[in-house]
Copies of this chain bind each other. A is one copy, B any other.
Amino acid sequence: MKAMELSCKENQAVLTLNKEAVIPVREKGQLLIKVAAAAVNRTDLVAKETGNLPKGNAILGVEVSGIVVESDTDLFPCGSRVMGLVNGGGYAEYVVMNVGNAMPLSDQLTFEEGAAIPEVFLTAYQTLFWLGNLTTAQTVLIHAGASGVGTAAIQLAKQLSSAKIAVTASSAEKLALCRKLGADSLINYREEAFSQKIIEETGGRGADLILDFIGASYWEQNLASIAVDGYLILIGILGGAIVKDVNLMTLLQKRITVKGTLLTPRSDAYKAKLTKEFVARTNKLFAAGRLKPIIDSVFQLENVENAHRYMESNKNKGKIILTVN
């Protein structure tokens, strides 16, 4: 099969096409998938840079869509359209996927759309509902609202909770996308302090849940924005990792919960449980078009290095997809 494999060229990690890669061998409880599309994730860039490969797999890629070609379960017989997380290996013609991670791909969605769903929607779902207690929240603040996880989180909060949804983004264009997806309150963080706006708009109460990808540079404003008994869920540190002078008394007085999380390193069992609940609550919403994967751009698998450079430039709104023909 063909696959984009990681190799070293003049001391630099690069992805090169191998047309003779070995088709992975399915174990019991796994599906063999003929890949139609895969998505690019930041974790792929980190793996390429550091050489820390998921499960030692020289083929990157943690989410795909495609057609089942080998199976031992009636849930996903051969010919089924599926999407889901994989433990590496997605940048290829074939990949194995644990049955627990497989999700049915509705006929209403294209394969490109299917590949754009698993990582960002599962991350957003886990963060909002399993970690962030969204069900009881009056107000949720979603930073980087136009990002992959941001666009998924806005839609999930809109469809599955009654919380007021506030978002931050850096441009009017990005905020317009957030509005379209269901955001109630739009904050251009370049033009105003988001904490002040959140406090104003909630009558001094603050946000019950904050979903943050930024980290250090937002810490002070996040703590000022958060309500008593609020949750701050950290899923990225694009704004730096080191916070100077953290005042623990604020955590005590406001009874704040801060949780850090990453989805990719979690166990197969955890991902399977999350996938199962997610499918049960969202399958019909995707089929009805009430939840929509947001695709920024589509590259051919062979052009994956261009797709990586594009992600590094931070210009994308929504997912970057690779198609495998």
Residues of A within 8 A of B (CB): 215-216, 219, 234-237, 241-262, 265-266
Residues of B within 8 A of A257 (CB): 257-259
Chain A contact surface mostly: mixed
Select the residue from A216, A237, A248, A253 with max chain B CB neighbours within 10 A: A248
Q: What are 11 inter-chain pairs, A to B, with CB distance below 8 A? A: A234-B252, A235-B252, A237-B252, A241-B248, A242-B248, A243-B245, A251-B259, A251-B260, A252-B261, A255-B261, A255-B266
Partner of A234, one of B234, B242, B248: B248
**Is the CB–CB distance between A237 and B258 below 8 Å?**
no
Counting every copy of the chain, the complex holds 2
| Nearest CB of chain B from residue A52's CB, rounded to whole Å | 12
Which residues of the other chain, B, contact A236 by a CB distance below 8 angstroms?
Answer: 252
- Bound state CA distance, A253 and B115, in angstroms? 25
Q: Residues of B contacting A266 with CB < 8 Å?
A: 255
Given contact pairs A243-B248, A256-B260, a sample of 19 additional A-B residue pairs in the complex whose CB atoms are under 8 Å apart: A215-B248, A216-B248, A237-B248, A237-B249, A237-B252, A242-B246, A242-B247, A243-B245, A243-B246, A246-B246, A252-B262, A253-B265, A254-B260, A255-B260, A255-B262, A256-B259, A257-B257, A257-B258, A257-B259
Chain B hits for A255, CB < 8 A? 259-262, 266
Least Cβ–Cβ distance between A127 and chain B, in angstroms: 12
- A241 is contacted by which of B241, B249, B265 (Cβ under 8 Å)? B249
* Bound CA span A265–B259, Å: 23
Bound-state Cα–Cα, A259 to B241, Å: 19
Determine the distance from Cα of A252 to Cα of B214 in the docked complex, in whole angstroms.
12
Nearest-Cβ distance from residue A278 to partner chain B, whole angstroms? 19
- Cα–Cα distance between A215 and B251 once the two chains are bound (Å): 11
Chain B's closest residue to A235 (CB) is: B252
Q: Which residues of B contact A259 (CB under 8 A)?
A: 251, 255-258
How many Å from the CB of A251 to the closest CB on chain B? Answer: 3
CA distance A243 to B252 in the complex (A): 14
Contacting pair A253 B262 (CB below 8 A)? yes
A236 to B252 Cα, complex, angstroms: 8
Which residues in B have their C-beta under 8 angstroms from that of A248? 215-216, 219, 234, 237, 241-243, 260
Chain B: minimal CB distance from A136 (Å): 13
Bound Cα distance A46, B247 (Å) = 19
- Least distance between A315 CB and chain B CB atoms (Å): 24
Q: Which 7 A-B pairs have the closest CB atoms?
A: A251-B260, A252-B260, A241-B249, A246-B246, A258-B258, A243-B246, A257-B259
